[in-house]
Structure 1
Amino acid sequence: MPKRLFDLIFALISVIILAGLLLLSLLLASIDTYSFGLFWQDRIGQHGKRFKIFKIKSLHDSTKKVTAFGRCLRAFKLDELPQLLNIILGQMSFVGPRPDLPGFADLLQGNDRQFLTLKPGLTGLASLKYRNEETLLAKQASPQNYNDTVIWPDKVRINNWYSTHRSFIMDIQILFYTVFPFLSFDVEEFMNERR
């Protein structure tokens, strides 16, 4: 089945199944943040083009701090649910490199830009490896430096590897381990087995 057809059908089914949870999350986020619970933000998409990504708000507008409900949303990745609309619109796929804020992927040069030929994904190999990225960064003396010098280059490496090795079966495996995060999955081992 072509990837776009799979994405469209699966996204439409997911929206129908998760509509109640999505609406409830939006309502609670609106109450929790004292503002409309949905927000959109510029991200870098396929071929380096910008698009608006949709998320459920987890930050309070005035304090810019993560709210109590926002922490819950982030812990279970529920703040990402509105990205099903990005998938339906054809801006994203279920599996692919996560779309970054301007100032990262759009500044890459040469072969490092290889993964930008793909649509960004709701999940991907780099997302699985750095599932607990916020916790990892919180342990660093200089979180921004650690992100810029360790995490970001590693994500580029993983995303470029995915761009040359991807397959429908691999996408299903990535989705499976995304949905069942308690199952053991070593991204580096997974990649080494397929070199």
Structure 2
Amino acid sequence: MLKRLFDILFSLILIIPLLPVFLIIAILVKLDSKGPVFYLQTRVGKQNKDFKLFKFRTMYTDADKKGLLTVGHRDNRITRVGYNLRKYKVDELPQLFNVIIGDMSVVGPRPEVRKYVDMYDERQQKVVSVRPGITDFASIQFVHENELLKNADDPEKLYIDEIMPAKLELNLKYIENRHFFKDLKIILLTIKAIFT
């Protein structure tokens, strides 16, 4: 209950002053390339249920048909404006609306696409027993995940065999010992990771 109340208050405190920024970003996205302002991707949420995750669109329309993983910050599917939005994680801000709706929490395991969730073993499935979040320890540790994938001979194999299991271990540890002050710590570490 406290976590849900914090999620709503935290999101509203950010959304209200950021509305003019959202408007500017929306204009820049539209001027930069054809397509919608927002990118809605189906992700897996609490109790293994699908939901639509909101992001500012950072790629050319239909770019996800060429693969779900983004390889490097200079992936040629990323627009000019999209590059800067991704660099500072600004493209993730619309997920505050997912938090208000109740699909997500501010802190929790990052929601994955169905393709990869279907690969989880029985223990790893525990990750989808809780509400997913905008940030978590895995997001902080793998803040440069795109660059790791860029340097791999087979990016998807690296993701499935090494990165995804490591992320899931961090998420399982979080779930086993989650509390309010740990969430605050994750928020502060995320801000530090973005700007350093």
- State TM-score, norm by structure 2: 0.89
CA 1:174–1:19 in 2, change beyond 3 Å: closer, same or farther?
A: same
Secondary structure of the corresponding residue to residue 114 of structure 2: coil
Instruction: Tell me, in whole angstroms, the C-alpha distance in 2 between the residues paired with 1:128 and 1:122.
Output: 11
CA 1:71–1:183 in 2, change beyond 3 Å: closer, same or farther?
A: closer
Per-residue CA shift, 1:18-67, capped at 9, x if unaligned? 11111111111111122221121100001110000001001112667101
Query: Structure 1: which 5+ residue stretches go unaligned?
Result: 185-195
Q: Return the match for 1:166 from 169, 172, 178.
A: 178
- Structure number with the bigger relative contact order (C-alpha 8 A, sep ≥ 6) is 2
Per-residue CA shift, 1:110-163, capped at 9, x if unaligned? 211112111110000110110010011111111111111000111111111111
1:115–1:160 CA contact under 8 A, matched in 2: yes
Letter in 2 for 1:83: Q
Tell me the matched-pair count. 184
CA 1:32–1:62 in 2, change beyond 3 Å: closer, same or farther?
A: farther
What residue number does 1:56 align with? 56
1:44–1:106 CA contact under 8 A, matched in 2: no
Identity %: 34
Large movers: runs of 4+ above 6 Å: none
2:89–2:194 CA contact under 8 A, matched in 1: no
Pairwise mapping of residues 3-82 of structure 1 onto structure 2 (< 5 A)?
3-61=3-61, 65-82=77-94
Instruction: Tell me, in whole angstroms, the C-alpha distance in 2 between the residues paired with 1:141 and 1:106.
Output: 24
Letter in 1 for 2:42: D
RMSD: 1.7
Instruction: Tell me, in whole angstroms, the C-alpha distance in 2 between the residues paired with 1:183 and 1:120.
Output: 23
Query: Structure 2: which 5+ residue stretches go unaligned?
Result: 65-76
